[in-house]
Amino acid sequence: MLRPFSGVWPMNILFVKRLQICSLILLLVLALHLTAKADPVPVRAVEGTIHGLLELRSEDGQVVASGDVFRVLRGNRVTSRTLFHFKDGSIDDETTVFSQLHTFQLISDHHIQKGPSFPHPMDVLINARTGEVTVHSTGKDGKEEVKTDHLDLPSDLSNGLVPVVVENMHPNAPATTVSMVVATPKPRLVKLVISSVGEDRYVVAGTSRKAIHYSIKIDLGGVAGVVAPIIGKAPPDIQIWTIGGEATTFAREVGPLYAEGPMMTIQLASPIWPDTPKPSH
């Protein structure tokens, strides 16, 4: 005999379960129709040619990779490459081409992750003008597979552009929403909702300064956006800091490098010089 618990009789239990199911269905329907509105990102500061040094740290603070960011300006087109060399031989290499006339417009993005640090290697090429997304992957038989999907890509696509987008946000502006293609492994569009958190302090050469802190929430949209938090699979928020003043620059990022990966820290690095320089001739 089924015994009631907490003073609720079987008929009431069935009613509650039906109500819960109906509520979940309603949420799923709403999620399919209500998605975050994406905003075009205006160019507040034109990107120029730079070569920056980066370091990648694990959750315990250990440096696991050294990196470079190269950015070359030719006319109105910018080619930006961020390259990390891991101590275990892994590579994280992303090359992004974009224009910056009034608003930032992605032209192409090619992101490669391979080596022991990446349990699911990726090679994704996005052609923002044609809408083609090509994914190179390794099948169960060990052979390379190449699949190309065509997506209706929005003008605010931000693959490889997130640091640039954040650098061009006003700290007092409302949240900015942009789009991004993720390969899971089939390519799909998600929204990034970027909002200012406030100011955090950091120290340079013993002097205290302030950085602008932003938080990025990944909105999966649709059914996945509703179900993921329920089953504990919602992606964590990404944290980014910029240094303002006459020119704003990226300073630090905390977040996973791939889906369900550990939290990693990317930040600016400085060269370490030998104690005794070589004598001049």
* Residue reference for tokens 């101590």: 87
Name 64's Cβ contacts closer than 8 Å, sequence gap at least 6: 56, 57, 58, 86, 87, 88, 117, 264
Q: pLDDT by residue (tens digit) across 10-61? A: 444 444 445 444 444 444 444 444 444 555 678 988 899 999 999 999 999 9
Q: Is 228 helix (H, G, I), strand (E, B) or coil?
A: helix
Q: pLDDT by residue (tens digit) across 268-277? A: 999 999 887 7
Output the average pLDDT for the chain.
84
Q: What end-to-end distance do the CA atoms of the chain give, in Å?
A: 97
pLDDT band at 281 (very low <50, low <70, confident <90, very high): low
- In contact, 37 and 94? CB cutoff 8 Å: no
Task: Give me the pLDDT at residue 40, please.
Answer: 63
Tokens (6 digits) for 223: 């059914």
Task: Give me the pLDDT at residue 164, please.
Answer: 95
- What are phi and psi for residue 116, nearest 5 degrees? -60, -25
Q: To the nearest 10°, the Cα dihedral for 69, 115, 58, 109? A: 40
Q: pLDDT by residue (tens digit) across 127-185? A: 999 999 999 987 667 778 899 999 999 999 999 999 999 999 988 888 999 999 998 76
**Sign of the four-CA dihedral 63, 88, 113, 67:** positive
Name 159's Cβ contacts closer than 8 Å, sequence gap at least 6: 96, 106, 109, 111, 126, 180, 181
- pLDDT > 90 in the chain, percent: 63
Q: pLDDT by residue (tens digit) across 178-222? A: 999 998 768 999 999 999 999 999 999 999 999 999 999 999 875
Q: What is the 3-state secondary structure (H, E, C) of 108-157?
A: EEEEEEECCCCCCCEEEEEECCCCEEEEEEECCCCCEEEEEEECCCCCCE
